[in-house]
Amino acid sequence: MEHIKQKNPGFTKKYNLNKLVYLERFTEVLDAIAREKQIKKWSRKKKIWLIEKENPNWDDLFVKYTNKNSKY
């Protein structure tokens, strides 16, 4: 929600990103951090492949998983 509302300075605010198109769930925070670091090292092409493999229509997953509209 903080990313969508762009409350904090950073990547999402700088580039006006407000749509969640990919997510992974983890039970351990350190596992999530390690995965994020791994993906950040990938090329843009590989990141797009990952998104389209799981979400070919680039649907807003925030809306899908919360039943809320992400456009505030």
Q: How far apart are the first and last CA of the chain?
A: 10
Q: What is the pTM of this model?
A: 0.74
Give per-residue pLDDT as tens, 24-70: 999 999 999 999 999 999 999 999 999 999 999 999 998 888 876 65
From the list 1, 4, 47, the residue with the least C-alpha distance to 22 is 47
- Please state, in angstroms and rounded to a whole number, the distance separating the CA atoms of residues 59 and 21: 6
* 23 Rama class: left (phi>0) / alpha (psi -120 to 50) / beta: beta
- Contact yes or no for 39/46 (Cβ under 8 A): no
